[in-house]
Structure 1
Amino acid sequence: MHTKQRRVTGAAAVAAFGILALTTGCSSTPATGKHHTKPTASRAAGSPASPGPSPVDPKPVQGQRLRHYLLTPDDLGPGYTQTETPDDEKAADPHRYDDIGMSGCPALEELSKHSDEVQFATKTSAGFSFGADSKLGEELHSDSPSKLSAGLRRLVHAQTSCPTYTMTSGSTPLTVSVHKDAPPGPGPDAYAYTTTLHGPGGTSVLKTATVRRGNVLVMLVGAPALVDGHIEAAVAKLPAG
């Protein structure tokens, strides 16, 4: 019997629940987007253990300065349309994930009880579509490097700890399968995994890639080829770490 868990917010919502928003209209076959990813060596996700805060950590990036680091349609190239801007999140329904629950993954259920530990000081986001049925979402988060690193490790550990679990959107059950992918870059805070959702409407495949550079982390979620094709550009836009 499914037991609905406490609502997860912030980066955890994007990684675990926000993927549902991208499944609407997504093709069951991952879009090619004419993008290619460079092969990299596999690396296991880091431990969820959290380092202590450093007194020399820089302050979080705020407001317009953080939005400056988001991808734009000009960065992505022909065929992309922006569907969500940073201003859209101001009007977002704070209860939009209230009808979403999960079961069968203790690590995610535990994270839902401590979601404040993976919420960061500042955030901005954008969304894009490519062609008729492929979507790409981007979030930037900023906080001290130590807090970003610890929170990101905990988030990815929880999200990839269960090969399969069940998610519900309203009364609709979805079977979720997750597998780790090669990280999108070097360093201890680069992670990627692919999520496959099986439901009454068919199967959707989405990839999440996230990288921390200094006091900013970027997270891309969407069609695997689009994420692979643009994570390098997204990281390149971040401030030097």
Structure 2
Amino acid sequence: MLATALCGVLITGCSSGSGGEGDDAKTKPAAEPKTVAAGALRPLLLSQADLGSGYVEVHEKTESGKFDDVSVQGCPSLEKLGQSGEEAKFASKAETSFTYDTDATLGEELHSDRPSVLSSKLRALFGAYTSCPTYTMTAGTTPIRVSVAKSATPKLGDEQFAYTSTMELPSGAQVLKTMAVRKGNVAVMLVGAPALVDRHINAAVGKLPAGN
């Protein structure tokens, strides 16, 4: 499914960074919270019980090189992002996805890393995706025109990011919303039908650990 391919390509390369300040040269910066392991992230994912009726969880096996045939043209920032390789990944990750009424999708990813790294990478990621109002994504041999617009975000967690993508698929236009909220050393990202993302972002953030 081409829409799923775009969701999967979303978390790709971006630069990392960190920072710290101190008034006293003899005082070390406060240590950042440690990464939450993938096994500890999984119970924090949304479940069918959280979402309500009409949702069916999709069980997909993660395959190496699954998105190797997806490329981007016409947006230098995204092209560079896709070439970043292993540097792009967060320290740990858990994910799940659902269909709703058979034709709508909602995917969730949880990522954990040091707060400064999460912040830096999310800013770079969403900055790249919103840097070009239009670009072309090629999945296999199928070129897909994508239009992107920044979206408003609710005041949740420590940082919030969102944009909406409209893909011109052979079957017609499809709109996906991508929203991420960082809360300390964990970030939640929802990707899917805009109404579903807006409906469930509060519940997704509510399952994250209480502050660090």
TM-score, structure 2 as length reference: 0.85
Aligned counterpart for 2:176 among listed residues 180, 201, 206: 206
Q: Aligned-pair distance for 1:142?
A: 0.5
- Pairing 1:182–2:152 present: yes
| Secondary structure, counterpart of 2:44 in structure 1 | coil
Aligned counterpart for 2:54 among listed residues 67, 76, 79: 79
- Asked if the contact 1:128/1:137 (under 8 Å) is kept, the reply is yes
Q: Deviation per CA, 1:120-157: give whole Å up to 9, x if none.
A: 11001001111020010000000111100100000000
Aligned partner of 1:13: which letter?
V
Aligned partner of 2:10: which letter?
V
State the Cα RMSD in Å.
2.1
Q: Distance in 2 between matches of 1:116 and 1:154?
A: 15
Q: Deviation per CA, 1:31-66: give whole Å up to 9, x if none.
A: xxxxxxxxxxxxxxxxx8944376511111113311
| Secondary structure, counterpart of 1:226 in structure 2 | helix
Identity across aligned pairs (percent)? 50
- Pairing 1:14–2:10 present: yes
- Structure 2 stretches of 5 or more lacking a match? 1-6, 21-28
- Asked if the contact 2:156/2:181 (under 8 Å) is kept, the reply is no
Partner of 2:19: 52
Aligned partner of 1:230: which letter?
H
Partner of 1:37: none
Aligned counterpart for 2:186 among listed residues 194, 197, 216: 216
- Asked if the contact 1:140/1:217 (under 8 Å) is kept, the reply is yes
Q: Aligned-pair distance for 1:194?
A: 0.4
- Structure 1 stretches of 5 or more lacking a match? 1-10, 17-47
Partner of 2:86: 116
| Secondary structure, counterpart of 1:209 in structure 2 | strand
Q: Which has the higher contact order (CA 8 A, sep 6+)?
A: 1
Aligned counterpart for 1:162 among listed residues 117, 132, 150: 132
Q: Distance in 2 between matches of 1:78 and 1:71?
A: 13
Q: Distance in 2 between matches of 1:76 and 1:101?
A: 33
Count, aligned residues: 195
Q: Distance in 2 between matches of 1:178 and 1:102?
A: 13
Aligned counterpart for 1:64 among listed residues 21, 39, 56: 39
Q: Aligned-pair distance for 1:163?
A: 0.2
TM-score, structure 1 as length reference: 0.75
Partner of 1:94: 64
